Amino acid sequence: MKLLDWAGKLTRRVFIARGATTLAAAAVAGKALLADSAAAAEPDSEALDAEQARALLRFTRDLFPHDRLPDSAYDKAIAPLLAEAKSTLAAKQLLMDGIAQLDATTKASGGQIYARTSDESVRVAAIRKIEGGAFFAKVYGETITPLYNQPEMWAKFGYQGPSSALGGYLHRGFNDLDWL
């Protein structure tokens, strides 16, 4: 059968009906998969202790250093990680092991745990030792979007926000850069 013959028989109505059927099947299968994975995860009562949470906050602040941002912005960024660690034992273990690695490295260099190390060069050296690991990838990947997707922080970065609702950038600040 030629492609043109097949395309001619596919009407808009048939396309929408088949698409709706496919969408419904995908929703049912996805729900079943989520239920299976939720049953496999062993929920834990507590995510991390206060010192580990402080280390995770410090680590995220070291990954994305912005002196103008308050700790509350970083708290919002690590909240999804803490929620996942609270519900999944594997996520909790990954965070605890990564923080333990950071603590061991900074103790060997400076004598204090990571969260209490004030020397930035010691903390950066500890981060460089683990940057190829799963902990680094997890924290980096899971915190970048929640950190930079906070509308209340956009002004601190110089971002005016989306302008599509206001007609776009062409007639609204497209050419107002004074540093170019």
Mean per-residue pLDDT for 165-180? 70
Q: In this predicted structure, what is the pLDDT of residue 84?
A: 95
In sequence order, what DSSP letters do the residues of 78-124 get, joined into one string? HHHHHHHHHH-HHHHHHHHHHHHHHHHHHHHHHSS-GGG---HHHHH
- Residues 42-87: tens digit of each pLDDT: 433 468 999 999 999 999 999 999 998 999 999 999 999 999 999 9
Q: In this predicted structure, what is the pLDDT of residue 122?
A: 94
Higher pLDDT pick, 91 / 18: 91
- Residues 83-138: tens digit of each pLDDT: 999 999 999 999 999 999 999 999 998 789 999 999 999 999 999 999 999 999 99
114's CB contacts (< 8 A; 6+ apart) are 55, 58, 59, 99, 102, 103, 105, 106, 123, 126
pLDDT at 7 over 60: no
Kindly report the CA angle at 107 between 106 and 112, in degrees rounded to 5? 90
Mean per-residue pLDDT for 165-173? 73
Higher pLDDT pick, 173 / 143: 143
Could you tell me the residue ranges of all domains in the chain?
A: 7-40, 50-157
Higher pLDDT pick, 160 / 2: 160
Token look-up 């929640």 returns: 146
Chain centroid to Cα 138, Å, comes to: 8
The rounded distance, in Å, linking the Cα atoms of 12 and 6 is: 13
Please give the helix or strand (H or E) that residue 147 lies within, else none.
helix 134-148
pLDDT classification of 8: cutoffs 50, 70, 90 = low
The rounded distance, in Å, linking the Cα atoms of 98 and 165 is: 42
Q: What is the pTM of this model?
A: 0.68
Tokens standing for residue 27? 């929703």
Q: Which of 55, 39, 25 is nearest to 89 (CA)?
A: 39
Q: Is the dihedral of CA 42, 134, 154, 51 positive or negative?
A: positive
The rounded distance, in Å, linking the Cα atoms of 151 and 160 is: 9
